[in-house]
Chains A and B, each alone.
Chain A
């Protein structure tokens, strides 16, 4: 038995983090806006005694050349309304909702989180984002999206205002909701070292994750904070199967969910360019891509489209390659192998837990809770049952 603990978050996004995951559901349209859909997943996570459920926020609709992009535009509900509804039908699991410091008012955000903390009896957390997407600006009476430095300056003052508002209210169940942060840029790390209690990170290499955690702990010590006071949780996208072959078959099946139309829309979204008129078996139209609107604004480097061999792939080849690539750590294997990997990362000091991003949640959540959690429990790496009632308590974070 181990005295290490692995914190577990479940990042729910529609039907899953595979952009075509809705195509796996018999009732895709209904699910996306129904409390029952999210409740079923949350209840399963709570049966697995997970620490928390995490929701992102998207503040714009996908469009291309002024036309709504129907292949990508899945609804993303307001996390600060979805979470209290889920809190009413769960008992112990924590909830982290994302809200932007660039496009909301700190007084309103403080009030939402405080109310959710009361309604849930201490299970609220806030993922503090500055909103990276410049397209949100047009929905928020702003002509130009502020630059990163400016956004983090505003975020610092914003968080201070929110915390002051919390302190001025009658005492909250957790003292203050848990502060979560996800940016890994230098500005993001600096911000995290000063304000975060949980950090969601991107890491697919264990040794790099160890180095990142040491660096952040040194930064925490540098600003006079307890280096053990922040939980670092990399995102991971597990695809499980009873055997390795089964897991690989599931991976192949998930790639099929990415309908060519969805893949073309994803590529179009990267460059702000319509690819539907180009032939799948012809090389990528590099000259046109270099002229594309989002390349000019520096969002993507077209050189990255070209393979290591210097060959320009066909549009079809590129889409197939792209479908496999994910920023977050993808894992394909058996429950035992996933438990081993998590145990190994934890033992090496690479992280304090994981944020689970299943490509297809209706399959991934039950498989993880029913098959991976029991192994982690047997090794003493996760709790047998909830020992506390608040998110702060689950994560072992001190009250402010």
Chain B
């Protein structure tokens, strides 16, 4: 049996008990050229942190995109932006994020806006590392965001440089309402493969690299 040609992997049974086997499966998906896997689990009884899991997988894989499922209601934008920027650096530009289903939609939208502003608060060439001049970053290329919203007030800038992808793409399923409207990549039934360990074939169907990058280009310079 070969796997279907749908290319975004959505683990259906990722728990503390299946964690090690899922890491091995993600390594196989990476070797077979699959572009993106969603990691994290917001099951109240046995949750796993998406950013930590994606970071671990980043160090064990070479090419696959790693989308961290994020519990949005318990995180401040500054913390989340720090985590996403770090993941993008650890994976050399393979990070993405998804807001866990069931999160407060209004708060989530403002969270997305604020995180994006923080992730782009350094210009891509702001880290000058000028040894002779004693200057690590160029002050003219790093800006406060001064966000004043209903849920968050964040001065910024982030204390991490511009991530490799320019920002970190937001992934959402088409039926996820307001969050889907602001996402960078929309998943449909036909483009994602919700799969449990037991359903994985012995040999994964290799995926031909797509013509275009899996993510649309992100606003701001690259």
Contact = CB atoms under 8 A, between A and B. Distances in A.
Interface of A: 20, 22-23, 28-29, 32-35, 39, 58-61, 63, 66-78, 80-89, 103-105, 107-108, 111-112, 114-116, 118-119, 138-141, 143, 169-170, 259-262
B90 interface: yes
B56 A73 contact: no
A111 B137 contact: no
A29 B83 contact: no
Interface in B22-36: none
Nearest to A58: B159
A127 B41 CA distance: 25
B205 to A, nearest CB: 26
B133 interface: yes
Given A105-B74, A108-B75, A169-B46, A68 B56 contact: no
B135 A116 contact: no
A70 B55 contact: no
B134 A20 contact: yes
Contact of A75 (B17, B76, B161): B161
Contact of A70 (B51, B76, B136): B136
B151 A141 contact: yes
Nearest to A107: B74
Interface of B: 15-17, 19, 46-49, 51-53, 55-60, 71, 74-76, 78-79, 82-83, 85-87, 89-90, 127-129, 131, 133-139, 142-144, 151-161
Contacts of B135: 70-71, 261
B124 to A, nearest CB: 12
Contact of A170 (B17, B137, B160): B17
B136 A111 contact: no
Contacts of A143: 153
Given A84-B53, A85-B59, A143-B153, 19 more contacts: A28-B131, A29-B129, A34-B89, A35-B59, A68-B137, A72-B136, A74-B136, A77-B85, A77-B160, A78-B51, A81-B83, A81-B87, A105-B74, A108-B75, A116-B52, A140-B76, A141-B154, A259-B134, A261-B135
A84 B55 CA distance: 6
A294 B163 CA distance: 32
A112 B52 contact: yes
B55 A103 contact: no
Contacts of A67: 139
B49 A115 contact: yes
Nearest to B154: A139
Given A67-B139, A118-B19, A119-B52, A105 B75 contact: yes
A104 B74 CA distance: 8
Contact of A81 (B16, B48, B52, B75): B52
